[in-house]
A = this chain, B = another copy of it.
Amino acid sequence: MAVSVHHQQQETDGNAIEQLIAATREDMDNVNTLILERAHSHVDMVPELARYLIESGGKRLRPMLTVAAARMFGNSGGSAVRFAAAVEFMHNATLLHDDVVDESDMRRGRPAARMVWGNKASILVGDFLLGQAFMMMVETRDVGALAVLAAASAAMAEGEVFQLAKTKDLDTTPEDYAEVIRAKTAVLFRAACEVGAMAGGADEAGREALSRYGLELGTAFQLVDDVLDYGGQSGTLGKNVGDDLREGKMTLPIILALSDATPAEHQTIANTLGKADASEFEVQQVVTILTRYDTLSRTLSKAHEHAQAAIEALGGLADSSMKSILARVVEHSVSRAY
């Protein structure tokens, strides 16, 4: 029976994303055209590197949220498409810089851009994408939405610095962690949804609802990502499992475990955290401790709370098929961890 329920849930979840894709296909065709156009440069390395990353099969969830939010309020015309492309550029600029900062070898299942073109090109092409994002935003002449995106850009960088400062810091608190994931993930989700609503012609309440929705969805999304990095709820080792641990990232499963652990367990975690060449066995030892204190499940409970808050944020808005799709996207984002 459990298997069957699980199976059914997966199908429903699949449908949620598929429904979002279907509901935004027309707008996303325009977004994708604009993305290709704006990744162009007569400097060959720019489009080569940018397209390598952008076309590497990311789901483009953020720009889909932007155009979905706009469509929900009736207007998915020019500005929403520009904002969506800008949001995707901001996201990819961040990925390029993050991979340099984290010394990541892989991204989306293939060598990170920095492994192909080098760190230097990754830094500079990231800067280029950020500049192009800003140009697209300016073209909308919507100063209010520009302010939202500019603030998101600064907050994201600030959050990355904070995360860097907290690397391997065993005294990192759950509050510190909440701040990190807010800045590194939730803020861009929020901005993506908020400017979509603004471009769609939402009133103040609609804008606030989508802003809250994006923030809570982004938070849930990152919590789930951080659980997936340890193999999901079951803590099953697989591809890329333990990356955060090897990079010394203080995510909630680790923070919660450290506060409950015995001195010996504490030492085991401390020894492995930030050890770039930690073996699968060493990672497994840490995952065993996380499982012992149930911190993967406890992190997922947190994700569920934020997912619930995201759905509730939409509560005051008129019912529509887009609204129900957005609600189900939240459920999907959490169900990834099971």
Interface residues, chain A, with chain B CB atoms under 8 Å away: 41, 43-46, 97, 100-101, 119-121, 123-125, 127-128, 130-132, 134-135, 137-139, 141, 143, 146-147, 150-151, 153-158, 160-162, 164-165
Contact = CB atoms under 8 A, between A and B. Distances in A.
B121 A135 contact: no
Contact of A155 (B101, B131, B154): B131
Nearest to A136: B150
Given A138-B146, A143-B138, A146-B138, A157 B101 contact: no
B120 A101 contact: yes
17 contacts: A41-B158, A41-B161, A97-B124, A97-B127, A100-B120, A120-B164, A124-B157, A125-B157, A130-B130, A130-B153, A131-B154, A134-B153, A135-B150, A135-B153, A138-B147, A139-B147, A141-B143
A139 to B, nearest CB: 8
Contact of A128 (B121, B132, B158): B158
Contacts of A119: 100
B46 A158 contact: yes
B124 A160 contact: yes
Contact of A153 (B120, B131, B141, B157): B131
Interface-centre pick from A147, A150, A156, A161 (highest chain B CB count, 10 A): A161
A46 B164 CA distance: 11
A1 B160 CA distance: 59
B146 A128 contact: no
Given A130-B130, A130-B157, 18 more contacts: A43-B165, A45-B165, A46-B158, A97-B123, A100-B119, A101-B123, A101-B124, A127-B130, A128-B154, A128-B158, A131-B153, A131-B156, A134-B153, A135-B154, A137-B150, A138-B143, A141-B143, A146-B146
Q: How many copies does the complex hold?
A: 2
A94 B277 CA distance: 33
Contacts of A155: 131
Interface-centre pick from A119, A134, A139, A150 (highest chain B CB count, 10 A): A134
Contacts of A125: 157, 161
Nearest to A46: B161
A95 to B, nearest CB: 12
Contacts of A137: 150
A247 to B, nearest CB: 11
Contacts of A143: 138, 141, 143
Given A43-B158, A141-B143, A158-B41, A164 B124 contact: yes
A143 B143 CA distance: 8
Contacts of A153: 127, 130-131, 134-135
Nearest to A120: B101
A147 B137 CA distance: 9
A139 B148 CA distance: 11
Contact of A161 (B45, B138, B146): B45
Contact of A134 (B100, B120, B134, B139): B134
A83 to B, nearest CB: 14
Contacts of A124: 97, 101, 157, 160-161, 164
